[in-house]
Amino acid sequence: MTVTIAELAHALEARSWGDEALEVTGAAEPGATQPAGDRGGVIALAMSPKYAETLKPGCLAILAEGMDPEAYGLRAAIFAPRPRLVMAGLTRAFDTGPDIAPGIHSTAVIDPSARIGEGAAIGPFVVIGADVVIGARARIASHVSIGRGSRLGDDALIHPGVRIAHGVTAGDRLIVQPGASIGGDGFSFVTPEESGIEEIRRTLGERAEIKAQHWTRIHSLGGVEIGDDVEIGANSTIDRGTIRSTRVGSGTKIDNLVMLGHNVAVGEDCLLCSQVGIAGSARVGNRVVLAGKVGVNDNIEIGDDVIAGGASKIFTRVPAGRVILGNPAVRMDTQMEIQKAVRRLPRMAQQLAKLQETVTRLLEKG
């Protein structure tokens, strides 16, 4: 794919400078970008002076507003008012996606009752169950399985090895990365008598008697409901609900290795970073950001616009708009004060020991 500087600037809603007829064939980091040829070349992502230091004269580059292209000897430049937003548009323009041939591959196994939308591409060894609905222009890569009655909207992109169980519904423009599993049974078991877990929850740690217990499976009758423009990372898992569906709202982005338990409800436009785990029946509001390794207890509610720092462990309800950190998670400013106090503890212990020695000597003197 090639576009001119002028066309790319227009697509990015950005200002251009220099020879706007030069063609852009791709993007690279500044140090790896060679000077443009007669027709053009690769454009460098040099959106801060720090990155621009390695630019070679004669290159094409994307710069931040206020940077001087002549000072770097550039032939053409595009100015990014918001660099990462421009990067999103640039990468979208040059991303051709996975190589999935049009049509249905001869090795795909598709139930006769399934409905495949116009323009969909189905790769090798895909298995599609009864009554499945695949939207228009969907692209399904190799070795994907989609269970009975599931529905994918238009323009879905399902990467290799994804497992979508029965009764999963998803809106338009779903992206699922390799190895993800959607709609597996929830992890839900019960004992005939009060379990040790129930006892220590009730007594806060006291156990009257330790005895053998046998677990009985609670089956998962619900499904999974996913909105529009959702992305699910590699090897992430979303369990189906027990009775009601597990839900993920429109616009939410889920990183690799994220776990959503049964009955979880995640709102719209959330960011769930790698290794986040949300236990069963937790409710997460809209626009919530959970950084890497955040853990969320079962049956609690996290309000809209909450931000949780990395490795935080959330055990109780979090009000809307709060920024939290730590284990257990508290307000971020409170956690920072706690950390400052912890760092002072060795010195305070030394001071206390000296004070004890002084008091002991005074008492001995009588």
- Of residues 210 and 254, more confidently modeled: 254
- Tell me the average pLDDT across 9-30: 95
| 262 catalytic residue (yes or no) | yes
Residue 16 confidence (pLDDT) above 90: yes
- Tell me the average pLDDT across 313-327: 98
Tell me whether residue 231 is exposed, middle or buried, using C-beta atoms within 10 angstroms of its C-beta: 0 to 12, 13 to 18, 19 or more: middle
User: What's 192's DSSP letter?
Assistant: S
- By three-state DSSP, how is residue 355 classified? helix
Please report the pLDDT score of residue 80 as a whole number: 93
Residue among 166, 214, 219, 262 flagged as catalytic: 262
Per-state percent for the chain, helix, strand, coil, to nearest 5: 20, 30, 50
Residue 254's pLDDT band, with cuts at 50, 70 and 90, is very high
CA distances from 333 to 287, 309, 337, 342 (A): 21, 12, 6, 14
Which positions ≥6 away from 56 have C-beta within 8 Å? Answer: 33, 34, 35, 73
Bridge partner list, 62 = 45, 78
The class of domain 110-187+224-307 in CATH terms is mainly beta
Please report the pLDDT score of residue 313 as a whole number: 98
Please report the pLDDT score of residue 274 as a whole number: 99
Contact assessment for residue 12 and residue 86, using Cβ atoms and an 8 Å cutoff: yes
Whether the ω angle into residue 112 lies within 30 degrees of 0, i.e. cis, is no
Which positions ≥6 away from 158 have C-beta within 8 Å? Answer: 138, 139, 140, 141, 144, 152, 164, 174, 176
Starting at the edge strand found earlier in the chain, the sheet holding 115-116 runs: 115-116, 133-134, 151-152, 168-170, 224-226, 246-248, 265-266, 283-284, 301-302
- Tell me the average pLDDT across 137-155: 98
Please report the pLDDT score of residue 228 as a whole number: 99
Tell me whether residue 342 is exposed, middle or buried, using C-beta atoms within 10 angstroms of its C-beta: 0 to 12, 13 to 18, 19 or more: exposed
Please report the pLDDT score of residue 25 as a whole number: 94
Residue 1 confidence (pLDDT) above 80: no
Please report the pLDDT score of residue 239 as a whole number: 99
Half-sphere exposure of 307 (CA within 13 A, CB side): 4
Please report the pLDDT score of residue 28 as a whole number: 94
- What's the pLDDT tens digit per position in 181-222? 999 999 999 999 999 988 888 998 888 888 889 999 999 999
- Of residues 201 and 265, more confidently modeled: 265
Bridge partner list, 79 = 15, 63
Residue 5's pLDDT band, with cuts at 50, 70 and 90, is very high
| Least-confidence region, from 21-35, 117-131, 202-216, 331-345 | 202-216
Contact assessment for residue 302 and residue 288, using Cβ atoms and an 8 Å cutoff: yes
- Tell me the average pLDDT across 10-26: 95
Please report the pLDDT score of residue 33 as a whole number: 93
Residue 262's pLDDT band, with cuts at 50, 70 and 90, is very high
- Per-residue buried b or exposed e for 130-142, using 16+ beta carbons within 10 Å of the residue's own CB: eebbbbebbbbbb
The class of domain 3-94 in CATH terms is alpha beta
Please report the pLDDT score of residue 135 as a whole number: 98
- Tell me the average pLDDT across 110-130: 98
Residue 360 confidence (pLDDT) above 80: yes
| Least-confidence region, from 135-144, 202-211, 229-238 | 202-211
Which range scores top for mean pLDDT: 35-39, 311-315, 338-342, 360-364? 311-315
* 163 sits in which H/E element: strand 163-164
* 49 sits in which H/E element: helix 49-52
pTM for this structure? 0.90
- What's the pLDDT tens digit per position in 54-107? 999 999 999 999 999 999 999 999 999 998 999 999 999 899 888 899 999 999
Residue 319's pLDDT band, with cuts at 50, 70 and 90, is very high
